[in-house]
Amino acid sequence: MKKYLLYFFVITIISSCGTHPFRSSEKSYKSQLRGFQKKLSSKKTTSLENGINPEWISTVNFNLRKPNFIIIHHTAQDSLQQTIRTFTLPKTQVSAHYVISDDGKVVQMLNDYLRAWHGGNASWGKNTDINSTSIGIELDNNGTEPFSDNQINSLLALLSRLKKEYNIPTQNIIAHSDIAPTRKSDPSVLFPWKLLADSGFGVWSDNEIKEAPQDFNIEQGLRIIGYDTRNLSSAIKAFKLHYIQTEVNDILDPKTINTIYCIYKKQ
């Protein structure tokens, strides 16, 4: 009996000391936070080229930078666990603040005030560093399957909290494809943008779309909405992926032109 108890004790100890699958990434996270804390606490100033040495006098009027955009992605991977692993490996150089699984589970991977690496080479309007001003939300979806009700319900609940907490403008809840039209197509043509807009997250076209004026400049309209139009064909496709999901192409038919004008008027 004592022998079996000893075996049980040893197995219990080994189990309790087993490596947590994300212990390494948690250790790295804390280490980086300590580095940022050290930088923020530093009062060291650097001399200017003209020889002037700035004097440090602390102000009392400041706070943390806050996110002003929410960018929605799909993971293009096969499971929540695969995505979490991708985001916890240093070599991948990619991350997001939140990941939402198909069953509605929400995983937060980064403090909202920190800069995740989710947007890549992207822009929206004059903002060319989206990662510095946004929260990235990844939806566990391979890009070819419908988004589940549980997943969308969790997304709506998360958007509600984030929009309220950071006072994020309604029109600043957009897609990865919107900010990177030549590279990305997520969160796919199956994403329910109208449902989000009806819930107060993002804008949508009117039920009855007014005809655009004859002199309406389509490229300028897309730029004012936020699209990078240097590749106009890609910008039109990205717009239609978001707002005319039944016709994802670069054809400027009357419906497309009038929809661009409608969204342009909502900016």
- Amino acid identity for residue 117 in this structure: W
* CB neighbours of residue 85 within 10 Å: 15
| Calpha distance 1→183 (Å, rounded) | 65
Output the CA–CA distances (angstroms, integers) from residue 205 to 126, 142, 262, 267, in the order listed: 23, 27, 6, 12
| Residues labelled catalytic | 138
Query: Are the CB atoms for 95 and 134 separated by under 8 Å?
Result: no
| Calpha distance 30→16 (Å, rounded) | 22
First and final C-alpha spacing in the chain: 76
| Calpha distance 2→14 (Å, rounded) | 18
